Amino acid sequence: MPDPGPSPLQSVLPSRPVLPFGTAAPPVEPPGPAGAPPVEPSGPAHSAAALRRILRGPSGLGTVSLHWARPEEPPAAAQPVTPAAMRPIPGLYHHPVPEPDPVRVEELSRRIKSWAVDEVQAFPPEWEDQFDGFSVSRYMVACHPDAPTLDHLMLAARLMVAENVVDDAYCEDGATTPDVGGRLLLAHTALDPVHTAKEYQPAWEESLHSDAARRSYRSAMEYFTAAATPAQADRFRHDMARLHLGYLAEAAWDETEYVPEVWEYLAMRQFNNFRPCPTITDTVGGYELPADLQALPAMQRVIALAGNATTISNDLYSYMKELRSPGRHLNLPVVIAEKEGLSDKEAYLKAVEVHNDLMHEFEAAAAELAAAWPDPRVARFLKGVAVWVDGNHYWHASNTYRYTLPDFW
Ligand SMILES: CC(C)=CCC/C(C)=C(\C)COP(=O)(O)OP(=O)(O)O
Ligand SMILES: [Mg+2]
């Protein structure tokens, strides 16, 4: 498939002031009465042009200050960057991203490893190669190019590492145990604190240091809540509860050897999903999408579609890795093949089409919302989610340590 070039949400970078940690964005009146004004009928050209105008951000008198603060670090290294070896899935709709700033990647790698090894003991020494091969720094710099400082990037990197520690230690490839529900709930309390009788509170607090998963969640959440507003922290807790519900459904189907219908699998994957990563784009970017705008049904639809597209992208890039794992690892191609009687190749190619449909639905919903709610914070958040989707694809397509593709082409 020819490279479709930058997504409509990528074409301009809205300019916004960077707010220091924890500062709530100044209130801006939504554009109209309670309900959003009707989106005028528009064809693709109209909405793309409207979207470009909206995403360009405010212009005219008094807006000159609405420009991003330059990152505190020195500019990127002048030497040419060796682009990562990319192998995009043929026919997969995606947008290219600029090579992540190598200066930021190198410094973030140093800081996140120090946190993982020295602060929280996130993994045993025998997992060090896997940790390095995950390339979390290249991932996060690609997904959050608007992060004003490395401290902001560390917020995302710690949570990404912690989320994967929990997935690997509790849910992946044979790690699932019959008591996974109890273990996940207790790990979740490292994000969503227990408030209980005085006599029992110390035992809970001590539990947060008892395994790598809880140590990682507790520490990453402590840094996050220090930087985020209360509303952003509560949003994240809610998104992580969704994620853990998805893990539990996956574990229950694994335990009972149930193969879901395709729609059931897609429903589960909307919860066992990258959602908690793009939805922190405002905290990592140093601004806030207010809770009332984040909760808009139209915004919720955009977030769900973006998360679904990113997660089915993972199903496609991790297909070979999962075929090699113990037992039957459910992913979209495997479920389509089983439930629709297709060959492995036919099912995989159909899963690529499902991914592409999700991407087009996401971009259309984002463009419609940006036009309906021309609030600069909505535009910036939508762009941040789109950039996360594209950065996530870049990481999957270039992580040849972790992923290989089937020979279907
Ligand atoms: C980082 C994060 C919030 C992950 C959420 C759920 C998750 C682990 C994925 C969407 C990745 O899926 P999967 O478990 O298939 O991971 P790999 O394919 O092993 O990379
Ligand atoms: Mg996978």
| Best CA proximity match to 290, nearest among 19, 14, 16, 24 | 24
User: Per the domain annotation, does 350 fall within a domain?
Assistant: yes
Return the CATH number at 285. Answer: 1.10.600.10
pLDDT in the model for residue 29:
41
The span from the CA of 64 to the CA of 132, in Å, is: 42
User: Per the domain annotation, does 51 fall within a domain?
Assistant: no
Distances (CA, A) of 183 to 188, 212, 258, 375: 9, 12, 22, 41
Residue of minimum CA distance from atom 3 in ligand 1:
274
| Best CA proximity match to 116, nearest among 162, 77, 82, 149 | 162
Atom of ligand 1 nearest to the CA of 275: 3
pLDDT in tens, the chain (409 residues): 455 666 555 543 344 344 444 444 444 344 444 444 333 334 444 444 544 544 444 444 444 333 333 344 544 555 556 677 889 999 999 999 999 999 999 999 999 999 999 999 999 999 999 999 999 999 999 999 999 999 999 999 999 999 999 988 877 766 667 788 999 999 999 999 999 999 999 999 999 999 999 999 999 999 999 999 999 999 999 999 999 999 999 999 999 999 999 999 999 999 999 999 999 999 999 999 999 999 999 999 999 999 999 999 999 999 999 999 888 999 999 999 999 999 999 999 999 999 999 999 999 999 999 999 999 999 999 999 999 999 999 999 999 999 999 999 9
User: Per the domain annotation, does 273 fall within a domain?
Assistant: yes
Q: Are 351 and 332 contacting, i.e. CB atoms less than 8 angstroms apart?
A: yes
DSSP 64: T
Give ∠ CA 159-163-169 in degrees, rounded to 5: 140
pLDDT in the model for residue 4:
65
313 close to ligand 1 (CB < 6 Angstrom) = no
User: Per the domain annotation, does 19 fall within a domain?
Assistant: no
The span from the CA of 48 to the CA of 39, in Å, is: 13
pLDDT in the model for residue 36:
41
User: Per the domain annotation, does 192 fall within a domain?
Assistant: yes
Residue of minimum CA distance from atom 4 in ligand 1:
274
213 class by beta-carbon count within 10 Å (0-12 exposed, 13-18 middle, 19+ buried):
buried
352 close to ligand 1 (CB < 6 Angstrom) = no
Q: Which two tokens stand for residue 34?
A: 């309670």
279 close to ligand 1 (CB < 6 Angstrom) = no
Helix (H) or strand (E) holding 54: helix 44-55
User: Per the domain annotation, does 145 fall within a domain?
Assistant: yes
User: Per the domain annotation, does 215 fall within a domain?
Assistant: yes
Q: Are 17 and 66 contacting, i.e. CB atoms less than 8 angstroms apart?
A: yes
User: Per the domain annotation, does 78 fall within a domain?
Assistant: no
The span from the CA of 354 to the CA of 359, in Å, is: 9
Greatest distance between any 2 Cα atoms in the chain: 64
**Domain span including residue 140:** 97-398
Q: Ligand 1, from 274, 310, 313: best to mutate by most atoms within 8 Å of Cβ?
A: 274
Q: How many domains does the chain have?
A: 1
pLDDT in the model for residue 8:
57
Q: For residue 40, how far is its CA from the centre of ligand 1 (angstroms)?
A: 38
Q: Are 274 and 307 contacting, i.e. CB atoms less than 8 angstroms apart?
A: yes
pLDDT in the model for residue 80:
59
Q: For residue 260, how far is its CA from the centre of ligand 2 (angstroms)?
A: 17
281 close to ligand 1 (CB < 6 Angstrom) = no
314 close to ligand 1 (CB < 6 Angstrom) = yes
Predicted-complex ipTM score: 0.97
Residue 339 CB neighbour total at 10 angstroms = 16
164 close to ligand 1 (CB < 6 Angstrom) = yes
